[in-house]
């Protein structure tokens, strides 16, 4: 099961920046842009971490947090806000926030804090994906094959994550690109092919090929699919 994050932030630029970055880290992310939508999302689905702005139209973040905790919800909540006075941070933490990050912020710190919150509840979510000898830990961002660590870029890791979630499926280039890059597929671009080639190189340094090209259809991750095997006489 993928790790699901909810970002409640009314500033569209910040919301887009945070959500894109977290998706590149391998998480499934949904965004609510006001307090009312945020409350509906909080009560209607299960989340692994919530990133919550304090100032929101409709209902402010403090109200949402208090109502959420009154439902006996223990999901970690990270307050993301421009309020940086000590008494305000104390107020947020006393209301039930698990962590506090002030704007402006560095995304690397935000990602590290989200990962730390995930590590605090190891029994409640699955943070490790595996296929044969390939493993990815979503909380620590460690990727390895045959016990050897792989040094992947953020896009290569997001690409591998998508493959790990769909082993044995024929995945079209359009589907892969739109999921990993979060934008419409440009059939004239070779961006996807370049990233697949580099990911293959790093994976095959420690084992046989796992990413197979299906001519005219896309890619398959896993064992060589029957449609690529030579027919038996």
**Nearest one of 43, 22, 40, 34 to 117, comparing CA atoms:** 22
Contact 159, 216 (CB under 8 A): no
Whether residue 79 contacts residue 61, with contact meaning beta carbons closer than 8 Å, is answered with yes
* Angle in degrees, CA 181, 184, 190, rounded to 5: 70
172 within 8 A of 217, measured Cβ to Cβ: yes
* Neighbour count for residue 208 (Cβ, 10 Å): 10
Contact in structure between 218 and 225 (CB atoms under 8 Å): no
Which domains, and CATH codes, for the chain?
4-119 (3.40.50.2300), 128-228 (1.10.10.10)
pLDDT tens string, the chain, 233 residues long: the values are 568 899 999 999 999 999 988 887 778 899 999 999 999 999 988 899 999 998 899 899 899 999 999 998 889 999 988 766 677 777 778 788 899 898 888 888 998 899 888 877 655 455 678 899 999 987 677 899 999 999 998 889 889 988 998 888 889 999 898 888 877 777 778 999 999 999 999 999 999 999 999 888 899 999 876 655 544 43
> What pTM did the predictor assign?
0.60
Whether residue 96 contacts residue 79, with contact meaning beta carbons closer than 8 Å, is answered with no
90 Cβ contact partners less than 8 Å away, ≥ 6 residues apart: none
């Amino acid at each position: 099961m993928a790790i699901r994050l909810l970002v409640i932030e009314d500033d569209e630029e910040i919301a887009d920046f945070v959500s894109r970055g977290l998706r590149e880290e391998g998480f499934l992310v949904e965004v609510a842009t006001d307090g009312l939508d945020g409350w509906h999302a909080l009560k209607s689905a299960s989340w692994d971490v919530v990133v919550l702005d304090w100032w929101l139209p409709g209902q402010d973040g403090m109200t949402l947090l208090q109502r959420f905790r009154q439902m006996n919800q223990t999901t970690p909540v990270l307050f993301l806000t421009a309020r940086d006075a000590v008494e305000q941070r104390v107020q947020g933490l006393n209301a039930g926030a698990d962590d506090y990050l002030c704007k402006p912020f560095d995304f690397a710190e935000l990602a590290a804090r989200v990962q730390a919150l995930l590590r605090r509840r190891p029994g409640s979510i699955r943070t490790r994906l595996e296929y044969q000898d390939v493993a990815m830990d979503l909380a620590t961002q460690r990727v390895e094959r045959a016990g050897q660590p792989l040094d992947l870029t953020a896009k290569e890791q997001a690409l591998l994550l998508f493959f790990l979630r769909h082993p044995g499926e024929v995945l079209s280039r359009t589907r892969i690109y739109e999921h990993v890059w979060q934008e419409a597929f440009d059939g004239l671009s070779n961006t996807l092919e370049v990233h697949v080639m580099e990911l293959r190189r790093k994976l095959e340094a420690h084992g046989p090929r796992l990413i197979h090209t299906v001519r005219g259809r896309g890619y398959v991750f896993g064992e060589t699919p029957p449609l690529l095997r030579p027919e038996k006489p």
